[in-house]
Amino acid sequence: MSQFRFINSSAASEVRIYRNSGDACKAAAELIVELVQKKNDARLGLATGSTPIPVYQELVRQHQAGSVAFSQVQTFNLDEYYPISPLSDQSYRWFMNHHLFKHINIPANQTHVLDGTVPASFADQHAVDFESWIHQAGGLDLQLLGIGRNGHIGFNEPFEASVESACNLPTRLVELHPVTRADAAPAFGGLENVPTHALTVGTRAILNARRILILAFGANKADAVKASLTGPPVSTVPASLLQMRADRVVWMLDEAAAAGLNS
């Protein structure tokens, strides 16, 4: 593993580059285990997608080996398609149950995932409530993130705005970016089946997490990683906004995703 601070004009971000994604995911799981061992009621912000699956496998392994208990932990997931049933295997509620929650000793009512079944007229209120639950729980001790090819974090998609307002986005219903929908098409059996909308935790709650781990693997993430770390913080590359909290952020990359940092 090589580790360094990537310094650009606005921030010094901690970057760790691993030989492969498996090593990076083990290291990410280790950081989460250490946190929960120290603070057994840790508040974890969790991500879905292909990137963190091995992290969850390692957390399950460590739990089954008796190294870590989750009975006091609370989790808050980043996002959920809208509308979607939690019983659908494309839903993020299903994903979390399948990859993590059902294998560890966390009570169901301590796992929070935005609800893709709320009526449209309540979606905004549900999003407000969800963010207030994070707040009432004392905020997030750790936020795990992946990154979209378009630089999104959660489903905070690229858009034109000032950095200040882009860092202050509330939890809300959003329209998905065409790149995000295209990337989700295989899982939904075709673009026409991908929801056009999603509920997402906003940048405000993400950036308030006391520690932020962002994972990116593979050559198809290299451009987004490069733009996020080497360019200025801009709303059109949402992960670049992490520079505004560089002291809390650790980028965990494989060599392919880090390729653009050398050039």
Q: How far is the CB of 49 from ligand F6R (least distance, A)?
A: 3
Is 255 a known active-site residue? no
Which one, 67 or 204, has the nearer CB to ligand F6R? 204
Stretch that binds ligand F6R, among 26-34, 56-64, 147-155, 244-252 (CB under 6 A): 147-155
Contact 241/159 with Cβ under 8 angstroms? no
- Looking at the Cβ atoms of 12 and 185, the one nearer to ligand F6R is 185
DSSP string, 53-74: HHHHHHHHHHHHTTS---TT-E
> Rounded to whole angstroms, how far apart are CA atoms 26 and 185?
28
CB contact at 8 A, 235 and 166: yes
Residue 58 annotated to the active site: no
The one catalytic residue in 157, 177, 183, 254 is: 157
The active-site residue, picked from 58, 79, 80, 141, is 79
- In single-letter form, the type of residue at position 117 comes to T
Nearest residue (CB) to ligand F6R, 51 versus 228: 51
Tell whether residue 73 is a contact of ligand F6R (CB under 6 A): no
Binding string, 76-95, against ligand F6R, x = CB under 6 A?
A: --xx----------------
DSSP single-letter state for residue 50: S
Asked if 45 is part of the footprint of ligand F6R (rule: CB under 6 A), the reply reads no
Pair of tokens at residue 59: 């957390």
Q: Which is nearer to ligand F6R, 72 or 197 (CB)?
A: 197
Among 146, 151, 202, 260, binds ligand F6R (CB under 6 A): 146
* Contact residue for ligand F6R among 45, 154, 233, 260 (CB under 6 A): 154
Contact between residue 238 and residue 216 where contact means Cβ atoms under 8 Å apart: no
For the chain, what's the residue count? 263
Which lies closer to ligand F6R via its Cβ, residue 35 or residue 257? Answer: 257
Integer Cα distance of 7 and 230 in angstroms: 8
Task: Examine residue 153 and tell whether it contacts ligand F6R (CB under 6 A).
Answer: yes
Bridge partners, residue 251, by sequence: 15, 214
Strand ranges (DSSP E) for the chain? 2-7, 12-18, 43-46, 74-77, 79-82, 111-112, 142-145, 172-175, 197-200, 212-216, 249-254
Piece of the chain touching ligand F6R by CB under 6 A; list 44-52, 63-71, 118-126, 252-260: 44-52
Residue 121 tokens, joined: 């007229």
Shortest Cβ 195–ligand F6R spacing (Å): 13
Return the amino acid letter for 5: R
Smallest distance, ligand F6R to C-beta of residue 155, A: 6
Residue from 49, 54, 202, 233 binding ligand F6R (CB under 6 A): 49
Contact set with ligand F6R (CB under 6 A):
47-51, 78-79, 146-148, 152-154
